[in-house]
Amino acid sequence: MMTGGADSTRPLPLAGIRVLDVSQVMAGPYCSMLLGDMGADVIKIEPPGTGDQTRGAMGFKMKGSDSMGFLNMNRNKRSIALNLKSAAGREILHKLAKTADILVENYRPGVMKKLGCGYEDLAKINPALIYASISGFGQSGPWASRPGFDLMAQAMSGVMSVTGHPGGPPVKAGVPVADIGCSLFATYAILAAYIGRKNTGLGQYIDASLFDAALAFSIWDTSEYWGTGKIPEPLGTANRMSAPYQAVRSKDGYFVMGATNQKLWRLLCDTLGRQELVDDPRFADIPARLANRPVLIEELEKSFVTRTSDEWVDLLLAVGIPAGTMYTYPEAFESEHGKHRKMRMDIDHPVEGTVPNIGFAVKLSGTPQQVRRHPPLLGEHTDAILDEIGIDAAAAADLRAKGAFAP
């Protein structure tokens, strides 16, 4: 039915596991999509009327009402539209919780508890439930009640303080590192809790935050600060641990390269025909090159500007020096390597026809991920899901009259 998966006689590793995705936008939906890619039955519980906020996001329209962003974070899910502000909607969520292994939510801290759908409430119904809350700053602490967005997490974790060029204005990382990082850490914790449950039969509560995730990425920067007492500053494309290791100017633009140890440094100088750089005390070893990085790059670029980026990348790779071309996203996806790695896949969709999705970021040999379901339409699977938890048409009509499915 859909491209992107591979046939396998072995069941997917999370087959038979039910996940309730009570989240919106990015970190929560991406986390639950990863679980769905591995075989979990993911039920996306959305507000009636609008659904996940990301359905209507981005500044351009598709054939239908769902954004391309939504379509890239919600494959392998089923959708039910529930008004959790109504008692009838909460009744259905409680019934679903009895059947679930995992719940992922990213409401502001305390909201689910006020609705009677917090961990303590649902653990009484299902002690084996693994309940993951994703927020901007965690479930406790002075900032816990603040709205949580990737931009704020990048700023307040320090990530923005080291992004950009020295002396320049604040720059955020070009990709949502706090959102995606939190999603990955939450997935890791969920799977660890699931493995642990096999021994105890008990679920547990997971508190994941964008702030914590962004800070967890600061290994080199924080290590420098703790080791020297110097507050890290932006370095552009350069690196705190070695030099030269950054983007450098060529005849027709820029490319990236790294001579990160003495062997590679000498090889670089030999390749450039610049023996005097090896003998220059300013560049004698890594500490010296780090201390004199601006003049080091200035000297190297005197050679690099004599040829094009592609020429230098080919030459440096041929002698064993790491180097790479600076691609746009379209160039990366359409590159020979991007195609070989299947980093774009096309998914059948009832409204769009087909939609492109970013491919699976890791490859499993025995149980490769599969695209089993298109990103769902809002409430597309409501009737089927209700039937699975024993709510027949008459009961569903009663719940509908009580506002379970209305905005």
Closest CA to 290 of 245, 341, 256: 245
Asked if 96 and 43 count as a contact pair (C-beta separation under 8 A), the reply is: yes
Token pair of 324 as six digits: 């790479």
Report in angstroms the alpha-carbon separations of 224 from 233, 246, 247, 291: 11, 18, 22, 14
The dihedral over CA atoms of 278, 257, 176, 76, expressed in degrees to the nearest 10, equals -140
Asked if 23 and 14 count as a contact pair (C-beta separation under 8 A), the reply is: no
Closest CA to 250 of 297, 293, 303: 303
Query: What region does 62 belong to: left with phi over 0, alpha with psi -120 to 50, or beta?
Result: beta
Instruction: Write out the DSSP string of 290-339.
Output: HHTHHHHHHHHHHHHTTS-HHHHHHHHHHHT--EEE---HHHHHHSHHHH
Q: Which residues have C-beta within 8 Å of that of residue 193, sequence separation ≥ 6?
A: 130, 203, 204, 206
Name the pairing type of β-strands 130-135 and 77-81. Answer: unpaired
Is the N-terminal amide bond of 244 cis, ω within 30° of 0? yes
Residues 185, 359: Cα–Cα separation, whole Å: 20
The side-by-side arrangement of strands in the sheet containing 77-81 is 77-81, 41-46, 18-22, 102-105, 130-135, 205-209
Residues 143, 136: Cα–Cα separation, whole Å: 9
CA 338 to chain centre: 19
Catalytic residues: 179
Residues 246, 257: Cα–Cα separation, whole Å: 6
Asked if 42 and 103 count as a contact pair (C-beta separation under 8 A), the reply is: no
